[in-house]
Amino acid sequence: MGSIVSAIGGAIMAIISAIAGILETIVSVIVTIILTIFDVILDIICCRCFTGGYRTGRRGRYRFGGGRGGGGAY
């Protein structure tokens, strides 16, 4: 009888662990989307307010406007 209860308990723990993993993935995706939108908004603000300046982000250094050849990633 004890082994049956132990097996049921293990199955319940596996189901709870799987649900927790799915929720963690969903939260991670939502946070990534929010941070990406925030990063794009900051890029637009820096581009409009500080034309010709640099903005250093997580993905590298960008130059907006000004100079030869326009803008681009360096």
CA distance 48 to 19: 44
Give the mean model confidence (pLDDT) for residues 46-53: 67
Q: What's the burial of 11, exposed, middle or buried (CB within 10 Å: 0-12/13-18/19+)?
A: exposed
Residue 51 and residue 65 in contact, taking contact as beta carbons nearer than 8 Å: yes
What does the block give as tokens for 58? 């997580």
Q: pTM score, two decimals?
A: 0.54
Q: What percent of the chain has pLDDT above 90?
A: 45
CA distance 54 to 63: 5
Select, from the ranges 7-11, 51-55, 63-67, the one with the highest average predicted confidence (pLDDT). Answer: 7-11
